[in-house]
Amino acid sequence: MAPTIWLLAGPPFDAPFFGDVVARLKATGHPEVQALSVVALGATWEASADALARRVGKDDVVVAHGLAIAVALGVAARVPVGHVVLINGPLLALDPLSEAVVRMAALPGAAETVFRPGAWLMWLRSSVGLRRAANNPYSMDRDTVAVVCGGLVADGAARRALCGWLTSVSTPWPPPRASSAPVTLFWGDNDRLHPLGEADAAAVSGTNISIRVASGGRYAWPLEMPWTLADALRSIVVGGAQDGRTVTVTSRLAPRGRKSAGAKRKEV
């Protein structure tokens, strides 16, 4: 049986964030794939990691985007896995925007004020929300945001679960170098929230860490370029662990953080 690919979506995204990636993987001959919301797995990021650790196999590939990175690293610290793929998110500590959202989630009554669907989804659709997370702002239209984010705030129970989960991620999680499995940092290099320099710095700290670059990708690049992620995951499953060298493709853009004195990257 082929290894299962676990696709973990972190807030503000729900499991449908990976819908097109799942479709592409299945269409190209890899039916063993699961897309999950980390909020649905447990009440805290640690509980989410515990729950998933009971389900993954030793050859499985665990993929995490954004705030789900804490869960993937928690799983890799608990049980053997085949490969860990981390996509544009906080590797060692929360970024300023995530810190602000965590603080909002801790406010009394936040589930019925800040995170009520009308206010929360309106902000996500705005020019200061997810439109900045994509190269094509129209890819974050009203319907798309409702599909990929709406489930997390659909009702009171969901919103309270989201607030509780968000407040838990202030707890430190294992660094990428702590994983015994190969770790690929698959980074969109046009993301100002999590610039490529962060991945470079993390790669320097561990011999099991390699870098791939989604050229021109911003924070939500798996939504805009699902085939890029799906095909890379297929190559990881087929090819197994990489040799630890950092590998990128040449970027069409030169965003802030593109150059780093940290990791040496091989351009191919």
**Residue 52 pLDDT > 60, yes or no?**
yes
pLDDT band (50, 70, 90) for residue 2: confident
CATH architecture of 5-95+175-267: 3-Layer(aba) Sandwich (3.40)
* pLDDT tens digit sequence for 206-228: 789 999 999 999 999 999 999 99
Percent residues over pLDDT 70 in the chain: 89
Task: Tell me the pLDDT band of 191, cut-offs 50, 70 and 90.
Answer: very high
Task: Count helices and strands (H / E) in the chain.
Answer: 11, 8
Quick check: helix, strand or coil at residue 79? coil
| Region class of 29: left (phi > 0), else alpha (psi between -120 and 50), else beta | left
| Domain segments of the chain as ranges | 5-95+175-267, 97-168
Average pLDDT, whole number, for the chain? 89
> What's the per-residue H, E or C state across 235-246?
HHHHHCCCCCCC
121-169: pLDDT as tens digits: 999 999 889 999 999 999 999 999 999 999 999 999 999 999 999 999 9
- The closest alpha carbon to 170, from 89, 106, 76, 77, belongs to 106
Tell me what the mean pLDDT of segment 108-125 comes to.
95
pLDDT at 245 over 80: no
CB atoms within 10 A of CB 156: 12
Q: Are 3 and 32 in contact (CB under 8 A)?
A: yes
